[in-house]
Structure formats: C-alpha cells, structure tokens
Amino acid sequence: MAIYGQIEECASQLGARPGFNEAFKFVRSILDGTHPALDQLGEIAEGQTIRIDLVGEKGVIAYAQLQHSRTKPRREQQAESHRLYADVQTVVDGDEIMELLPAEGLKVTQPYNPERDVVLYEMPADGSHLLMRRGFAAVLFPTDVHAPLQAPDGVSRGSRRVVVKVRVG
C-alpha cells in the first residue's frame, strides 16, 4: 500500500526496512542542499535522468534517479507499476499531481519490461490524486499502480524530481 505525506512521516512509517533509511537519507540531503548531486540535478537538461547508486553496509542497496522531466495533461498519461522495486518519489522544484489507481480492470498497453522494471497501463476514468511538491514524498510499492508527472492545471512545465528505487521483489 502506498505511503504519502511529509518526508519525515513517510520515513517513520517504514522503520528500518532495508534500503529505505538510505533512500530517505539521500532525499533529505538533496532537499537540504548538502548532497553534491543537487548541483547535478540543477544542471541536467530537460528529459535527462542521472543514476546514482546508494551504497549501504552490504553494497548497493538502492539507486536514485535525478530527473528533469516535464509534466503532462492527464489525457497524455499512462499509468505504471513495477515488480522488483519500490519508488520513493519527491519533487525538488515544481508541483505535480500523482495519481494512484487500482490495478484491477486496467488495460495493459506495454507488458512487463524487465530491463526497465515497468508495466504500462491505459489511464482509467479517474484515480486518487496526490499533490507532489517539495517536502512531500510518495512511497509506491509494486502493487501500487501510479501515474506521476501530471500537470496540476493541465499546462505542461518542467519538474526536477528524485526517484529512489529500493529493491523489494
């Protein structure tokens, strides 16, 4: 089940689950400006993603994606889910809507792609809306179908964001 709220609230709900402490530590350091990757995020061109491996006591336990994306109107969206990784998503600059959707009855538009760990779905009539903005996070597990990067007012604009992928499957 997805978790949404202020970053500290989300982190406290996950306790010491492997990978999540490192994920939230990374997100906090981006948001408070102490991680050098913040400069990278500020410099990447729209449409680019940079991967950063997060190393714990047992080696790489998660990885972060620094993204400079563009929000889209809902009608241009596809929903997605994963099998191996949970997402910890937060917006660093900008606002966006993320929609959570029940998997039951969704039409698959792209079957599972193991290289990208993603299944894509046609958007249904409606879902639950989360406002994603700086200081908030959504933790999405493999059972959580989601559609990020929706433009709150329907007008496409840039969004700098961080998605930390924590292996759970």
pLDDT recorded at residue 59: 64
Q: Across all residues in the chain, what is the average pLDDT?
A: 94
Those residues with Cβ within 8 angstroms of residue 82's Cβ, 6 or more apart along the chain or in another chain? 117, 118, 119, 140, 142, 169
- Lowest mean pLDDT segment, chosen from 61-65, 137-141, 158-162: 61-65
CB 14 within 8 A of CB 2: no
For the segment 129-158, what is each residue's pLDDT rounded down to a tens digit?
Answer: 999 999 999 999 999 999 999 999 989 999
Instruction: Record the pTM.
Output: 0.93
Q: Where are the beta strands (DSSP E) in 34-107?
A: 49-56, 59-70, 79-81, 85-93, 96-101
For the segment 12-42, what is each residue's pLDDT rounded down to a tens digit?
Answer: 999 788 899 999 999 999 999 999 999 999 9
Task: Tell me: pLDDT of 125 over 70.
Answer: yes
As given in the structure block, the two tokens for residue 66 are 């620094």
**Which overall architecture, per CATH, does domain 3-167 show?**
Sandwich (2.60)
pLDDT recorded at residue 60: 66
As given in the structure block, the two tokens for residue 164 are 């930390």
Structural domain boundaries in the chain: 3-167
Task: Tell me: pLDDT of 62 over 70.
Answer: yes
Task: Tell me: pLDDT of 54 over 70.
Answer: yes
